[in-house]
Amino acid sequence: MSFLMTLSLEDLNRLREVAKKVFLQYNPPEFYTDREADKIIEAMGPEIMEQRIKQMVDAGLMKGKIQVKT
């Protein structure tokens, strides 16, 4: 089972926001979709994505906190 299925909608949207800001910034706009973000999130795994969110929160680019269940 994908770890994305264990996330709340709010947490999933936060991860998607990170993926779109960090990983998709150099791709054409047609790649700025939730589906493409989900592929990146799955490929990176829960630990890496949690670190990315922490970095963005610490930098003041995002509010909130996320807990990824593994």
Q: Is the pLDDT of residue 70 over 50?
A: no
Is 63 part of any domain?
no
Rg (CA), the chain: 11
Amino acid at 16: R
- How many domains are there within the chain? 1
Q: Please give the model's pTM, rounded to 2 decimal places.
A: 0.68
Helix, strand or coil, per DSSP, at residue 27 = coil
- Indicate whether 65 belongs to any domain: no
Percent of the chain clearing pLDDT 70 (strictly above): 83
pLDDT tens digits, one per residue of 9-33: 888 888 888 888 877 778 887 778 8
Please tell me the total number of residues recorded for the chain in this structure.
70
Q: Can you tell me whether residue 42 is helix, strand or coil? A: helix
Domain holding 10, by residue range, is 3-58
| Cβ-based neighbour number of residue 23 at 10 Å | 19
